[in-house]
């Protein structure tokens, strides 16, 4: 089912660089946008899709939401696990809604609080190819497993996927769950609440535990 078209394309080619507009972007399956700083095989945050309606409703300047794809459809209504076909080649797996962080407040007062789930939807590339301005966006339905918008639930989901007899270091856990490394400070308390099994599976980089470190291989194929 067609739900809209691509109204804008952007990528960030270096850390700290502002988003740059493009007429076409090249994507690789399982990695993301070629040349973009968020291209990462082990991240659920390879692309960000935002709605042109959010820009209109909040009177935002270009690239304020730092999206890669601007589409004329409401991204807040997209469900995790949905697959979108972009143009003739590219398929994107919707992962979870992007949390509105305080950095948005530099654009407009209290924007992070006001925009809520309309910040955009994060996605991974299932099938790569070229995305062009004006490409049709089609909803192919719920074809993949759903991920939670709640980062705590994503941490649990990643830990549940860890192979028996392995541990995962905090930074790798944050990367796989799609959260900033600063959240690592919250892991000990969260893991204690989740239970002994979870607390034993996630370790700091200085941990003397001799078990193999799992870095996430196969996670997104399994879930």
166 within domain boundaries: yes
- Give the up-direction half-sphere exposure of residue 62: CA atoms within 13 A in the CB hemisphere: 10
C-alpha of 111 from chain center: 20
Regarding whether 87 and 70 lie in a shared domain, the answer is: yes
In the prediction, which pLDDT does 105 show? 67
Domain assignment of residue 82, given as a range = 2-142
Can you give the pLDDT at residue 38?
96
**102 shares its domain with 27:** yes
Instruction: Tell me, yes or no, whether 97 and 157 share the same domain.
Output: no
- Model confidence, pTM: 0.94
Rounded-to-10 torsion of CA 218, 221, 222, 223: 120
Over residues 158-171, the pLDDT tens digits come to 999 999 999 999 99
Q: What is the pLDDT of residues 53-91, one digit of tens each?
A: 999 999 999 999 999 999 999 999 999 999 999 999 999
In whole angstroms, give the CA distance from residue 190 to residue 154.
12
Q: Tell whether 223 is covered by a domain.
A: no
pLDDT in tens, 37-48: 999 999 999 999
Pair 172, 92 in one domain: no
Residue after which a domain boundary falls, among 117, 142, 167: 142
- Output the pLDDT for position 70: 98
What pLDDT is stored for residue 102 in this prediction? Answer: 67
Instruction: Answer yes or no: are the C-beta atoms of 213 and 169 closer than 8 Å.
Output: yes
Handedness of CA 54, 49, 146, 136 (dihedral sign): positive
* Residue 16 CB burial class (10 angstroms; 0-12, 13-18, ≥19): exposed
Q: Do 119 and 33 share a domain, yes or no?
A: yes
User: How many other β-carbons are positioned within 10 Å of the β-carbon of residue 77?
Assistant: 12
Question: Does a structural domain hold residue 216?
Answer: no
Asked whether residue 84 is domain-assigned, the answer is yes
Angle at 26 between CA 101 and CA 10, to 5 degrees: 35
Percent of all residues in the chain with a pLDDT value above 70, rounded to a whole number = 99
Q: For residue range 81-132, what is the model confidence (pLDDT) as tens digits?
A: 999 999 999 999 999 999 887 677 677 778 878 888 899 999 999 999 999 9
Regarding whether 96 and 59 lie in a shared domain, the answer is yes
CATH of the domain at 30: 2.40.33.20
pLDDT averaged over every residue in the chain: 94
CA distances from 124 to 1, 19, 28, 43 (A): 20, 19, 10, 8
pLDDT at res. 112: 79
- pLDDT value at 184 more than 90: yes
Q: Same structural domain for residues 135 and 57?
A: yes
Considering the domain boundaries, does residue 210 fall inside one?
Answer: no
């Amino acid at each position: 089912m067609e739900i809209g078209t691509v109204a804008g394309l952007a990528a960030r080619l270096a850390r700290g660089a502002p988003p740059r507009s493009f007429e076409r972007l090249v994507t690789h399956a399982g990695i993301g946008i070629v040349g973009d700083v968020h291209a990462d095989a082990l991240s659920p945050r390879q692309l960000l899709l935002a709605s042109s309606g959010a820009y209109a409703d909040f009177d935002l300047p270009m690239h304020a939401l730092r999206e890669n794809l601007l589409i004329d459809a409401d991204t807040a209504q997209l469900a995790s696990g949905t697959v979108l076909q972009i143009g003739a080649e590219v398929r994107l797996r919707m992962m979870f809604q992007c949390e509105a962080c305080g950095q948005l407040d530099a654009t407009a007062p209290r924007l992070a609080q006001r925009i809520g789930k309309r910040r955009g939807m994060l996605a991974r590339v299932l099938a790569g190819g070229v995305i062009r301005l004006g490409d049709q966006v089609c909803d192919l339905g719920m074809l993949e497993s759903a991920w939670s918008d709640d980062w705590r639930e994503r941490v649990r989901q990643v830990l549940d996927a860890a192979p028996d007899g392995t541990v995962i270091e905090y930074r790798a856990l944050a990367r796989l769950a799609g959260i900033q490394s600063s959240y690592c400070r919250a892991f000990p308390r969260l893991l204690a609440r989740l239970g002994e099994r979870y607390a034993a599976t996630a370790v700091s980089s200085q941990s003397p535990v001799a078990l193999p470190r799992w870095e996430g291989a196969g996670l997104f194929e399994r879930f």
